[in-house]
Amino acid sequence: MIRAESIFKQLIKLAWPIVLAFMMQTSYNLVDIFWVGKLGATAIAAVSLAGNFFYVILALGQVIGSGTVALVAHSFGARLFDRANSIAKQSLILAFIVALSIGVIGFVFSKQIMYFLGGRDTVLILSGEYLRIISIGFFFQLLSFSINYIFRGAGDMKIPMVIMLIATALNLILDPLLILGIGFFPRLEVQGAAVATTIAKFISFVVGFLILLRGRSGIKISFTTPWQLQAIIVKKIFSVGIPVGISYGLMASSIMVVFGIVAAFSDHALAALGIGTRIFQFAGLPVVGIGIATTTLVGQNLGARDEKGARNAGNTALALSVVIMILFSILFITNPRPLIALFTSNAQTIAYGIEFINIVVFYLVFVGITTSLTGVFRGAGYTIPPMIAGILKVSLLYTLAIFLSRTLHIGVSGVWWAMLIGYGIESVIMLLWYKTGSWRKRGLALLKGLTPTGTTTSK
């Protein structure tokens, strides 16, 4: 029997390095926006628009990463450590194939992608230039995703944190130097932000890969044993990961839909949306950490055939996430102007930003629910519920955003209300699905067919 207190302590122990790592990840965007903001609202709009392609990268990374973390966690729970190492290798092979493909697409078709997302005139030119360079960084970022999820499946959250700390420090130093051309560095402006981030992503991949080769936390890969794909593992990685990838793709679609509609109003509204979403992303980091920690705990408990422990982990994560997001909602709704003014001094952008926060802030509670429950479903390897809830959210969001902003002529505030309602419906669906308990039975079946002859069962 696992007591709620011990689950709480385990969640905190696993979550805090993740939260710190994601705080540093989010600082990439915040630092970029801060320094790019020195160039004006158009530059902010361009970087914000190009940044949406990151959600495509995130979706692809999650296809492999989610399957990887679930299988590694289950393998550790069942004490199949050789199998965990095999899964790690195959995850990296798959990540390399996907990363190379998406990197080439982003590099070659950067302008077309930005036009599709709503970029026009100067915003189109600047965002296309930014995406062309950052696509090289996306290649290394996708590989880093797999490395981080390998360690998280093993229960080691500190290595990804250290890797991100190194990358963030590099980005923090290089951003002002390359954007503004300080000292002997060239003034690259928007392109400088992309170059700085790409260099940081490359270094983070190299550090993570070297740690994998040396061996840490029960995970070690080497070139002395074959690197080859095994059909049963690849199938299970994709069976878990594809619904998650679709879910993140839907998240990307919902954000792209919002950015596309808002772009038609003004650059100031688009800049406010970029600033506002980044502030909310920062607020969501604690529950993202809890969600990932929950994935590991649920996966390892189900791998050990402990259904009660998995259920306790889910309930504790859900309650903790909701409380955290309520506190952030109160903080933001009482201080909207200072938050927006941190990133811009433009009066119109600030006005749009205040309106955005005042309406959309309440969706943070819904984010707490969906993020924690997504962690539960991913840990169980049952990733269909978040996908279906995401499909309904995107459909509702698009329909409402168009109807409220254009048909009813509410304007850009209609888009804000559509966001709130869409995310609310998504969280209700996931909560009801979680209560059925069907995810636990799916999780117990995940290791079937994976137990190899002669597998090591102790570290």
List alpha helices for 37-187, DSSP H: 41-51, 53-77, 81-108, 110-116, 121-153, 158-180
Show the low-confidence residues of the chain (pLDDT under 50).
1-4, 452-459
The answer as to whether 270 is a domain residue is: yes
The answer as to whether 454 is a domain residue is: no
The answer as to whether 359 is a domain residue is: yes
The answer as to whether 56 is a domain residue is: yes
Residue 367: give the domain boundaries. Answer: 4-219+227-444
- Torsion over CA: 37, 42, 47, 51 (sign): positive
Per 3-state DSSP, the chain is made up of helix, strand and coil in percentages (nearest 5) of: 80, 0, 15
CA distances to 216, 257, 264, 413 from 406, in Å: 55, 14, 11, 11
| pLDDT, mean over the chain | 85
- 27 vs 169: CA distance, rounded Å: 10
pLDDT tens column, 143-152: 998 999 899 8
Query: What pLDDT is stored for residue 331 in this prediction?
Result: 92
The answer as to whether 453 is a domain residue is: no
The answer as to whether 455 is a domain residue is: no
pLDDT tens column, 31-48: 777 888 888 888 888 888
Number of domains comprising the chain: 1
The answer as to whether 459 is a domain residue is: no
pTM above 0.95, yes or no: no
Query: What pLDDT is stored for residue 26 in this prediction?
Result: 65
The answer as to whether 134 is a domain residue is: yes
Read off the tokens for 272: 């406010």
Give the DSSP H or E segment for 206.
helix 190-214
List alpha helices for 217-306, DSSP H: 231-263, 267-283, 285-303
Read off the tokens for 269: 């509204």
